[in-house]
Amino acid sequence: MRFKQQMLLVVSLLIVIGFAITATVSFVISRQAALEAMVQHELPLTSDNIYAEVQRDLILPRTVSSFMGNDTFLQDWILEGETDIAAVTRYLNGIKQKYGAFTAFMVSEKSGNYYHAGGWLKQVSKTDPRDEWYFRVRLMEEESELNIDPDMANKDALTIFINYKIHGPDGEFIGATGLGLNLESIKSILSEYRERYSNNVYFVTRLGNVLLHDEQHQVAENLSQEPGMKEIVQSILTEPQGSFSYQRHGKTYLLNTRHIEELGLILCVEAEEEKVFDALRPSLIVTAIVCILVTLIVLALLLRVIRHYQAELEGIAWRDPLTSLLNRRAFIDRYAAIRNQHQRNGQPLSLLLVDIDHFKEINDRYGHNAGDLVLKGISEILTEAVRPSDLVTRWGGDEFLLLLSGTDSDNARDIAERIRTRISLEPDLAAISEQRLTVSIGVAEQRDDFDLDRHVQEADSGLYRAKKAGRDRAELA
C-alpha cells in the first residue's frame, strides 16, 4: 500500500477510534445519569403525584363519610327502630347523587340490615365473607377505614369503601355507614400516567395481590408469581418505600414502591430501562453523523495537504528551479516509456538539443542575473514552440533537450529552424545581450537500436556540427 493511502487509513482509524471512545464514554456517563434521574427523580415524583391525586380523590368522600357517621338523622333513625325505610333510602340516594359516589350505605348493628341508595339490600351475616368488613369495622379501634371490595349492590364492581362507625348517645356502636367510590376514576389516573410518561402504575395489596392496574399493562395476579421479582417481593411488601430493578420477559424494569397506609395498598411505579435509553439515541446518532462528517472533512483536508506537498516535492525533485522546466532526472525517468510507446505504434520520435551561443560571454559581460534572464526567456519560447505533449527539459547549463512526439527528423528540423529563428528575432533577449541572441540545435530522430544515451549522443553530434559550422543553425547528426 502506498504511503499516502497508509496515512489516510491511519488518520481515519485514529479519528474513528477517538470518536468511538469519546462517544462510548459519554454514552456510558449519560446512561448512568439518565438511569439515576429515572430512579431518583422521575419514578419517585410520579409516585408522589399519584399519591397526591389519590389522596385528593379520597378527601371529599372521607369528609362526607365522616359527616354521615356523625349525622343525628342516621343515629335517630336507627334508634327509633328503622321504621321509615323510604326516608333512609332518600337520604342515602341524596348523598350518592350529590357527591357522585358509586354507592352510599348504612348497616344497623341492631337489625343487621344493609341499606343503600336503592333501599334495603340484605342482612349482614357473620358467615358471609362479603360481610367480613362489617364485623371488622365494629371491632376496630379507629373510627373509620378504607377498604377495597366488590360491591354486591353494583354487580360486584371493585369499589373503594370508606367505612365509618355510627355511635349512639352513650357512645355505643349502633352501625356503620359510608360511601363507595368507583375505581375507574383512579384507573384513569393510571392510564394517564402511562400515556404521559410511559410509566406502568399499579396498586398491590399488602399480600402482594395486584389490585388495580392499567388495562394495557399486564401484571401477574400476585407479585410472587412474577419470576423476576422473587428476590425483591419481600422488600416491596415490607419496606415503606423502595427502589428496585427486575427482569420481565427479557426486559429490565426500574420499580419504585410506596406504601399508602390510608388505603392499605402499595403503589408501584415502574419504567422500562430500555425507554430511558430511547432519549439518548438521538444524541448517539448525532455523534455518529458528526464523527463521519469530521472524518470526511479531515480526510479531504489531509488529502489536499498531501497532494499539495506531493506536488511541491515533485516540483523540487523533477523540475529545474530557475526555469521550472523538467530537469534531466525527470527526462530520463520518462524517456523510456515514451520511446517504447512510439516504437509500438511505429511513430517517429525526435530529439532537439538546443545550446545557447556564446552564453559564457553574456554571463561574463552582464553578470549571472542577465544569464538567468536569458535562460528563462529561452525556456518560455521553447515551451510555446512545441505541443504540450512534447517534453522540454533543461538538460544542464545552457543546454535544453526537447523530445518531440510523432515527429521525424525532417519535421524536427523544421521545428528546430522555427525555434532558432524565433529566438534570434526576440527583441527582449537581444536587449539583455545588446546583440542578437542565437542558439545552435542538434536534431536526431530515434532509431530502433537507440537508447537514451545513444539518442542524445546523436543529437549532440548534430549540435557539434551546427556549432562547428558557425552557430545559429540547426543540424542533423
Ligand X SMILES: Nc1nc2c(ncn2[C@@H]2O[C@H](COP(=O)(O)OP(=O)(O)OP(=O)(O)O)[C@@H](O)[C@H]2O)c(=O)[nH]1
* Interface positions with ligand X (CB under 6 A): 322, 355-361, 363, 368, 371-372, 375, 397-398, 467
Taking the complex as a whole, how short is the minimal distance between the CB of residue 427 and ligand X, in angstroms? 20
Question: By C-beta, is 355 or 445 nearer to ligand X?
Answer: 355
Question: By C-beta, is 180 or 442 nearer to ligand X?
Answer: 442
Taking the complex as a whole, how short is the minimal distance between the CB of residue 2 and ligand X, in angstroms? 34
Question: By C-beta, is 113 or 433 nearer to ligand X?
Answer: 433
Task: Give CB contacts under 8 A, 24+ apart, made by 131-137.
Answer: 133/161, 133/163, 134/107, 134/176, 137/163, 137/165, 137/176
* 3 state SS of 242: strand
> Which DSSP letter does residue 131 get?
G
For helices 43-69 and 184-197, give the axis angle rounded to 10 degrees: 170
Contact 339, 351 (CB under 8 A): no
Taking the complex as a whole, how short is the minimal distance between the CB of residue 337 and ligand X, in angstroms? 28
Question: By C-beta, is 318 or 450 nearer to ligand X?
Answer: 318
Taking the complex as a whole, how short is the minimal distance between the CB of residue 439 and ligand X, in angstroms? 9
Sequence-distant (6+) residues with CB within 8 A of 300 are none
Question: By C-beta, is 131 or 357 nearer to ligand X?
Answer: 357
Question: By C-beta, is 329 or 447 nearer to ligand X?
Answer: 329
Cα 408 from Cα 342, distance rounded (Å): 11
Cα 334 from Cα 384, distance rounded (Å): 20
Taking the complex as a whole, how short is the minimal distance between the CB of residue 327 and ligand X, in angstroms? 12
Cα 182 from Cα 185, distance rounded (Å): 6
Taking the complex as a whole, how short is the minimal distance between the CB of residue 468 and ligand X, in angstroms? 10
Taking the complex as a whole, how short is the minimal distance between the CB of residue 463 and ligand X, in angstroms? 9
Side-chain-side CA neighbours of 445 within 13 Å: the count stands at 17
Question: By C-beta, is 245 or 363 nearer to ligand X?
Answer: 363
Contact 474, 409 (CB under 8 A): no
Residue with the CB atom nearest ligand X in the bound state: 371
Contact 244, 43 (CB under 8 A): no
